[in-house]
Chains A and B, each alone.
Chain A
Amino acid sequence: MGQVDSRGGGGGGGGGERGLRSSERSRKSGGEEDGERERGDKGRSAKDGESKGAIGDDVSLNALRGNPTATILCGLTLLLICVMAFSIRLFSYLSKAGVYNFWNWFDDRTWYPLGRVVGGTVYPGLMLTAGTMWKIANSLNIPLSVETVCVFTAPVFSANTAWATFLLAKEVRGPGAGLTAAALIATVPSYISRSVAGSYDNEGIAIFALVFTFFLYLKTLNTGSLFYATANALAYFYMVCSWGGYTFIINLIPIHALVCLFSGRYSSRLYVAFAPLVVFGTLLAASVPVVGFNAVMTSEHFASFLVFCILHIVALVCFLKRILPKKTLLLAQTVVITLGLGGAIALGAVLVAMVAKSPTLGWSGRSLSLLDPTYASKYIPIIASVSEHQPPTWPSYFMDIHILAFLVPAGFVACFLPLSDASLFLVLYGVTSVYFSGVMVRLMLVLAPAACILSGVALSAAFNTLTRSAKFHIYGFIFPKGAPVESEAKSTAPTEPKVTAEDSATDSASEVVTPKVATSGRKRRGSKMKEAEEEPQRERKSAPSKGKSTSKPKVQDKRTAWPLPLDVSLLGLALLLSASCFYMYHSVWAASEAYSAPSIVLSTHTQDGRTHIFDDFREAYAWLRHNTREDAKVVSWWDYGYQTTAMANRTVLVDNNTWNNTHIATVGTAMSSPERQGWEIFKALDVDYVFVIFGGMVGYPSDDINKFLWMVRIGGGVFPHIKESDYLRNGQYRIDAQATPTMLNCLMYKLSYYRFTDATGDGYDRVRGTQIGKKHFKLNYFEEVFTTQHWMVRIYKLKPVKNRTRGRVKARTKQAVRTSLRGSVRKIWRRRRT
């Protein structure tokens, strides 16, 4: 990936930007495919270090052997991932102060000096869920600490997700599919990344809420029960509480309803499923502070209202059709169409005008970047800078859903055999989530349940056919030409549409293959299982009206009577099972290698097989926590904001909740400015400490130098005197001798490489793979107060305003008495400074 570019590109320039993205991604999402590569890199660089000379050698030896081996590993509070740190802080506030104070909480610990209204800007679902769990446990005198509850919230909810997935798939294609889908989602790597113990993240519970809402929608759709409709609205409310992704629900369900309407599938069940959800769902959503009036004001929600209207029109037409004689109906139609068309056009025009008034057409930036994948990179660098908002690569599909990627198309096919309301929904869910996951890596999470259910449907259909054929050959040859009898009777399911669906699907599958097998004899066996799934479709074309009526003439019997040959079915089974085994193997591997490692603690293996741990982040946070003033203000790039507030318990200027672009741009500008300007900006913001993440010593690629271009871009977006081109030499981002003077003099460069040459001897940066451009320099406005063991975090303190600057300040404000004495003092001072 990009990281290879940045290392292999040589001269540190190479694909700077691509390197940038990938490295960020690896840090952010706590793993993905970069996780282990990163570690591998580190191992390699550590080895480099040993073979290299001089001081660098010394340091890396220190790094490797200086630490005693880790023998004590406490099982608790292991993983603290980025956003989670903030959530835990929220939760501990919630548990102390109670719900009502939580709504009104103004957090002055962050976004200094602005502060942040937390109650109104955070999705409270996770906090409330964990809070309820904690309260229940404590009321039973089970003394769980806040952290313990946080750590285990995600695993508990992943179990719930498996259950909800079972229910959803069962609604679509019966319990067989349900079980398969649940088994698949239980281990799907994409979801594991959010449900490992310690991943205290919105998505952890939101995926459950998402799947459960869909299940209740389908349940309502299948039964027409108002009870489930109400439950559906409540589940939707829970989803709104938990995650911004709720807009996916409120768009997908209308799309499904609309497709149903246009394909002539309107029924009272659809009405019961859809209308209450829109009404109650919207009301409930509006009562969540962070959504509020957005539930009726923004374009994300308009689809549901529009479909709501259309649904009522259709319902009215159906009603009229029933009560009016044909002639009157025609008359009414013409009247309504002529009158209504005019009105509708006028109304539509007004609506369009209103929407068009807002520059983004009423869509929020994040939604727009979904609809137009290039939007963010053009207009909102801060969204584009987040690695999770980048489009995924093909390997990441394979990494995250493995064989499901191949089973999903089969699942689509199986959904059409036959098409029911529920399976139509599944198709739409699959299609939209595939699209969204293609836009943003992060939304791979939404794809995971869809992929699991689709694959579950496909797999269970295939298994059904194959096992039935096998059974037929093994047990059933006493009926030479008959179909097995009662084993079939078992595979029935409660609701009507499903049963016929599954039955006929499997039937047709077995029917179909026969001629094929007969003709093609020994075809390539590897493709057999595919055939088993795909052929039904072909068959369906030839016998489209094959149906639900139970008493069929002998024609069908004969066709049913032709199962797959024994060897084919056994081979297909073996192949499917082995594919499933590979899937499990991969999932276990991904869970243990890629997703279980907390991004904040890195590790590598030394040559003698021991694990060496890089715990620099927490070292720095602990230092800040214990050895700085209680009210000290700490500034860093926003990625580390949440961690700093939670772990170091210090006030930060910017954090991962990027609500104020200008503030972030100010920090970016300070980092991109020369030392003195940077110091002035920070002083003006009342900052005491600055820290940077620096990977050049041990080869940690996600450091601030690699992210630096984003700081320049975001800063330049607000303060035009920062120009990206000043930092690039011939369009290449580099920090070696070829780098631009602006780059070599900017604050970020200086803070990262201060005394780096003294430590390594030649100033060789292990991440960029090059010697740095400016080797020896002094800091005049900052002093190093702490650097962690592997130099990954470097903390600087702003020097106080010097006494002599008084004269200078006055001179600038033109109030100074320009005596010759003061002038000469100033000259001396200036000379010294330069």
Chain B
Amino acid sequence: MGYGVEMGRPPAVVAVAMEAVFGSRGRCGSSSHHRRVFCSANVLLFALALCAVTAAAAATAVGDTSSAVGKLINTRIDRRIDLSTQFVKLYVTAKMENEGSAEVSEILLALPNQQAERLAYRTVKIGGNDGGGAALPVSAVVPAISGVDPALSKGITFFAVSLPSPLKSGGSLTLEIHCVFTRLLEPYPAEISQQDPQLVLYHDNHYFLSVYPTKTQVTKVSLFSPGVESYTKEEPTRKRDNEITYGFYHNTQPLAISPMRIHYENLAKFAVISNLVREMEVSPWGSVTVKEDYVIYNGGAKHKGTFSRLDYQLRPGASGAASFRRLFATLPPRAFDVYYRDEIGNISSSLLRGDSKKTELEVEPRFPMLGGWKVAFTIGYKLPLEDCVSVSKEDGRRVLTMPFGTPFEDAYVEDLTVEVALPEGAADMEPVVPAALQGAAGGGGGGDVSVFLSVKHAMLDITGRPVIVLKKTNVVAEHNVAFQVKYNFAAISMLRKPLLLISAVGAFFLACMVYARADFTISKSSPAYVARKQREEVIDAVQKVRAVLKSRVGLTRYLEASLKELTRKGEEGVAECKAVRAPVEEKLKETAKSIKSLVDRLESSGGRSIGLVAKVKDIIAKEKELQTQAVQKHVAMVEGYERKLAPREIDQRVEKIQQRLTALMTEVRDLLQALDE
């Protein structure tokens, strides 16, 4: 009993007191299950300890420390407990000194089980100049092995911090400990109506719980507001505004306990994300798509009775004070295509602003979140690929770097799943999870990050895209660090889908081409088949005749056009107009030949289409006449102009031809139509 005589209590009493103080936590919330588990573990440890330590070292005096614990003392402890949010945030600066003769390479930290269960995040760093700021490795340890008196250690979880370099005898160092606990604040009363403020209870120890004796210590508790219902006092205790200071206390015994209980008003957001699935999908074509499905509830005191919109709107501060209306998320910079919706459509109450460092998203759930109310929604956004994926210099692999936790401030996630879908064709995947996520909670409630692999089929995938699934419970804002996924991806794989689409469309057209060209008739000699063939031939020939006739009509037009020019220019155009006629006539002759051959073909091919052949012949005859008439007219008009006759005279001369021409034109037109049918 070297230290803290005035504060000291018999060990057995301490253990009982621990139960009494922290046991009340077991009643609230869902921690009862965990408690039972850990109690049984304790019993087991206790039995072990009995065998290993107590029996062997029966003669050891009570205050003697074993070798593993070492002869360390806390020279000064500055503890700050931040209770102004729904979390309990613990900041401890501990100055320690090695008073023993042996070197110490491990330092033990202690937390009551009830707190350890709800421990979400914890870092231990060496403070001062020589610390370097790197977090030290921490592991949960069995107290018996560490040599702590088992009777004292009941209900306490121990962690061992390994020092980078052993602390020499007489040396000192400063440890900076930061812990975050979730759901340690118990709403009391557990159910409130709309008008009531939200009060919560906080249980702790007036002293910093340490396996080492402490020379001087002080604890500052910051609250949400000055409003406090009650708080325990351990003199000297001082309350100023929303801060309560306990201490200074001097010469505290190892694992000394004095129960602290604060009942105060806390109107912070008690937003709890019970389930969050973050799906990320890497597209090699330039973006990373993130989709986050939330189920959020208000984890504070439950709302009871009516909800009156009137009161809520009239007295926004006082009515429904414990509720929250908005949530803020900080998305990575350059996020685009942000959406916010739920299963019944878009939710229009949201606000987005961004600058070069971050994108801020403010969302408002469909209804105000009173205590215990739940809501589900989805937000999603895209990030430019170059912001997230880089190529590693070591092995040339691609490295995807993304934030791990939720972008929402003031909320924690009970159950987080992160799914990273890599592009199809990616190989050699390897997730790199930072230390801040790994084993952070140690023996407490939040576990390690567990990793699974799966495959997902999306947009035209054939083999599917590899998916890396990371799971973690009890995730707080401090976990929002970047994690990485390394993978190999050949650039040629990017062309898979375009090639697939091109070949599919190509195949379709190819099939069409084959179908249109190939002859699928089963019997080539059936009369129907022959008839069809013949018919096709006839139609073909007729079409050709038609085309030729059309071109001939075009020639006529050409002639007419030249005449038109002639009438405009008068005598000067005569030569020009004359020149037109010769080639036209030549062409007409040419076409006449081709028509003849076509008609021959028609006659030979179509035994059945005699009527048609007659019709065609009729047309051709008429058309021929038309052409001769047109040429005649041309000749007549040119002549007229050559002789410098009066226009009227020319008209008279031409009139007869013109009439005949018109009649023929109509006829030919009608015949052509008839032919089509």
Instruction: Give A residues with C-beta under 8 Å from B.
Output: 55, 58-59, 62, 67-74, 76-78, 80, 140-143, 478-483, 485-486, 488-489, 492, 496, 499, 503, 550-552, 554, 557, 560, 601, 613, 615, 618-619, 621-623, 625-627, 646-647, 755, 758-759, 783-789, 791
CA distance A627 to B564 in the complex (A): 87
Chain B 534-559 interface mask (CB, 8 Å, partner A; 1/0): 00000000000000001001000000
Q: Which residues of B contact A486 (CB under 8 A)?
A: 550, 553, 669, 672
Q: Is the CB of A622 within 8 A of B306?
A: no
The smallest C-beta distance from B279 to any residue of chain A, in angstroms, reads 12
Q: Which listed residue (A59, A557, A626, A785) contacts B313, Cβ 8 A? A: A59
Q: Is the CB of B350 within 8 A of A68?
A: yes
Q: Is the CB of B672 within 8 A of A489?
A: yes
Q: Which residues of B contact A76 (CB under 8 A)?
A: 339, 341, 346
Q: Is the CB of B459 within 8 A of A142?
A: yes
Q: Is the CB of B457 within 8 A of A141?
A: yes
The smallest C-beta distance from A317 to any residue of chain B, in angstroms, reads 31
CA distance A560 to B344 in the complex (A): 64
CA distance A480 to B658 in the complex (A): 9
Q: Is the CB of A618 within 8 A of B344?
A: yes
Instruction: Give B residues with C-beta under 8 Å from A.
Output: 305-310, 313-314, 338-342, 344-352, 362, 364, 366-367, 373-376, 457-462, 550, 553, 560-561, 563-564, 658, 661-663, 665-674, 676-677
Q: Is the CB of B351 within 8 A of A69?
A: yes
Q: Which residues of B contact A70 (CB under 8 A)?
A: 348-350
A-B contact pairs, 21 of them (CB 8 A): A70-B350, A71-B350, A72-B340, A72-B352, A74-B340, A80-B345, A141-B462, A142-B459, A143-B458, A485-B665, A486-B672, A489-B673, A554-B663, A557-B663, A618-B345, A618-B347, A759-B313, A784-B307, A785-B307, A786-B367, A787-B310
CA distance A486 to B352 in the complex (A): 64
Q: Which listed residue (A67, A141, A785) contacts B306, Cβ 8 A? A: A785
Q: Which listed residue (A71, A480, A560, A788) contacts B352, Cβ 8 A? A: A71
Q: Is the CB of B460 within 8 A of A78?
A: no
Q: Is the CB of B669 within 8 A of A551?
A: no
Q: Is the CB of A622 within 8 A of B342?
A: yes
Q: Which listed residue (B350, B375, B459, B553) contacts A141, Cβ 8 A? A: B459
CA distance A66 to B313 in the complex (A): 10
20 more A-B contacts (CB under 8 A) besides A59-B313, A74-B346?
A68-B351, A68-B362, A71-B350, A71-B352, A73-B346, A76-B339, A78-B346, A140-B460, A478-B564, A479-B662, A483-B666, A489-B676, A492-B676, A613-B349, A615-B348, A622-B375, A646-B344, A758-B310, A788-B309, A789-B309
Q: Which residues of A contact B673 (CB under 8 A)?
A: 488-489, 492, 499, 503, 550
CA distance A74 to B462 in the complex (A): 29
The smallest C-beta distance from A498 to any residue of chain B, in angstroms, reads 10
Q: Which residues of A contact B364 (CB under 8 A)?
A: 67-68
Q: Which residues of B contact A143 (CB under 8 A)?
A: 457-459
Q: Which residues of B contact A622 (CB under 8 A)?
A: 342, 344, 366-367, 375
Residue of B nearest to A495 (CB): B677
Majority SS of interface residues in chain B? mixed
The smallest C-beta distance from A291 to any residue of chain B, in angstroms, reads 32
CA distance A726 to B677 in the complex (A): 75
Residue of B nearest to A627 (CB): B373
Known: A72-B350, A478-B560, A758-B310. Is A142-B669 also a contact (CB below 8 A)? Answer: no
Residue of A nearest to B352 (CB): A71
CA distance A492 to B346 in the complex (A): 52
Q: Is the CB of A787 within 8 A of B346?
A: no
Q: Is the CB of A77 within 8 A of B346?
A: yes
The smallest C-beta distance from B273 to any residue of chain A, in angstroms, reads 14
Q: Which residues of B contact A499 (CB under 8 A)?
A: 673, 677
Q: Nearest 10 pairs between A and B by C-beta?
A: A787-B309, A74-B339, A482-B662, A70-B348, A68-B351, A550-B670, A622-B366, A74-B346, A647-B344, A626-B374
Q: Is the CB of B669 within 8 A of A485?
A: yes
Q: Which listed residue (B305, B341, B459) contacts A74, Cβ 8 A? A: B341
Q: Is the CB of B339 within 8 A of A72?
A: yes
Residue of B nearest to A779 (CB): B306
The smallest C-beta distance from A418 to any residue of chain B, in angstroms, reads 16
CA distance A58 to B345 in the complex (A): 29
CA distance A482 to B661 in the complex (A): 9
Q: Which listed residue (B306, B307, B665) contacts A482, Cβ 8 A? A: B665
CA distance A76 to B378 in the complex (A): 13
Q: Which residues of B contact A481 (CB under 8 A)?
A: 662
Known: A486-B553, A626-B373. Is A788-B346 also a contact (CB below 8 A)? Answer: no
Q: Is the CB of A786 within 8 A of B457?
A: no
Residue of A nearest to B338 (CB): A72
Q: Which residues of A contact B668 (CB under 8 A)?
A: 485
Q: Is the CB of A62 within 8 A of B313?
A: yes
CA distance A503 to B666 in the complex (A): 14
CA distance A758 to B677 in the complex (A): 82
Q: Which residues of B contact A69 (CB under 8 A)?
A: 351
Q: Is the CB of B671 within 8 A of A623?
A: no
Q: Is the CB of A77 within 8 A of B665?
A: no
Q: Is the CB of A783 within 8 A of B662?
A: no
Residue of A nearest to B457 (CB): A141
Q: Which residues of B contact A783 (CB under 8 A)?
A: 305-306
Q: Is the CB of B375 within 8 A of A786?
A: no
Q: Is the CB of B306 within 8 A of A77?
A: no
Q: Which residues of B contact A758 (CB under 8 A)?
A: 310
Q: Which listed residue (B310, B345, B461, B550) contacts A755, Cβ 8 A? A: B310
Q: Which of B663, B673, B676 has the most CB of A within 10 A?
A: B673
CA distance A488 to B668 in the complex (A): 11
Q: Is the CB of B314 within 8 A of A488?
A: no
Q: Which residues of A contact B553 (CB under 8 A)?
A: 485-486
Q: Is the CB of B314 within 8 A of A55?
A: yes
Known: A55-B314, A755-B310, A758-B310. Is A626-B665 also a contact (CB below 8 A)? Answer: no
Q: Which residues of B contact A485 (CB under 8 A)?
A: 553, 665, 668-669
The smallest C-beta distance from A196 to any residue of chain B, in angstroms, reads 15
Q: Is the CB of A482 within 8 A of B460?
A: no
Q: Is the CB of B351 within 8 A of A71?
A: yes
Residue of B nearest to A481 (CB): B662
CA distance A759 to B667 in the complex (A): 87
CA distance A215 to B351 in the complex (A): 51
The smallest C-beta distance from B90 to any residue of chain A, in angstroms, reads 33
CA distance A613 to B462 in the complex (A): 43
CA distance A488 to B338 in the complex (A): 58
Residue of B nearest to A617 (CB): B344
Known: A59-B313, A478-B560, A482-B666. Is A626-B349 also a contact (CB below 8 A)? Answer: no
The smallest C-beta distance from A60 to any residue of chain B, in angstroms, reads 10
Residue of A nearest to B553 (CB): A486
The smallest C-beta distance from B438 to any residue of chain A, in angstroms, reads 33
The smallest C-beta distance from B291 to any residue of chain A, in angstroms, reads 11
Q: Which residues of A contact B307 (CB under 8 A)?
A: 784-787
Residue of B nearest to A73 (CB): B346
Known: A68-B351, A140-B460, A489-B673. Is A784-B308 also a contact (CB below 8 A)? Answer: yes
Residue of B nearest to A620 (CB): B367
Residue of B nearest to A143 (CB): B458
Q: Which residues of B contact A557 (CB under 8 A)?
A: 662-663, 666
Q: Is the CB of B374 within 8 A of A627?
A: yes
Q: Is the CB of A489 within 8 A of B345?
A: no
Q: Which residues of B contact A68 (CB under 8 A)?
A: 349-351, 362, 364
The smallest C-beta distance from B466 to any residue of chain A, in angstroms, reads 15
Q: Which residues of B contact A55 (CB under 8 A)?
A: 314
Q: Which residues of A contact B662 (CB under 8 A)?
A: 479, 481-482, 557
Residue of B nearest to A62 (CB): B313
CA distance A615 to B347 in the complex (A): 8
Q: Is the CB of A80 within 8 A of B561?
A: no
CA distance A551 to B674 in the complex (A): 10
The smallest C-beta distance from A599 to any residue of chain B, in angstroms, reads 13
The smallest C-beta distance from A505 to any residue of chain B, in angstroms, reads 15
Q: Which listed residue (B306, B309, B373) contacts A791, Cβ 8 A? A: B309
The smallest C-beta distance from A65 to any residue of chain B, in angstroms, reads 12
CA distance A632 to B339 in the complex (A): 31
